[in-house]
Amino acid sequence: MKRMNIVYIFMAAALLAAPVSYASKDFYGTIESRPEGNAGTWVVGGRNVDVTDKTRLVEEYGPLSVGACVEVGYEGKAVMEIASEEKRKCKRRGRRN
């Protein structure tokens, strides 16, 4: 019984000591809505995307307007870039994202 308690203590310590890191969550989607300016909450592919003044906006494949296909790039939880992309990148199983 004492051994099991020690095992539980070590398991709990290992879980609590694990470093917190955020995996990249980059994704493609269609802009469904966006604020009048750049900063604010955009809806891309059904997800809320919080854009700040630090977010890089790239319009290589067209303007970042409603209906445009984009790639959303994250670093941790921060949206680092929104870039227009070719429409084909937003298609899934014959549907638009």
Could you read off the pLDDT of 74-92 as tens digits, one per residue? Answer: 998 899 999 999 999 998 6
Rounded Cα–Cα distance for residues 43 and 59 (Å): 17
- Given this model, what pLDDT does residue 4 score? 54
* pLDDT tens readout for residues 37-75: 999 999 999 999 999 999 999 999 999 999 999 999 999
- Given this model, what pLDDT does residue 95 score? 44
- Given this model, what pLDDT does residue 25 score? 81
φ/ψ of 24, rounded to 5, equals: -65, 135
Ranges assigned E (strand) in 1-97? 27-33, 40-44, 47-51, 56-58, 69-75, 78-84, 91-92, 95-96
**Architecture category of domain 22-91 in CATH:** Beta Barrel (2.40)
Token pair in block for residue 9: 């203590």
Q: Which residue has the higher pLDDT, 38 or 12?
A: 38
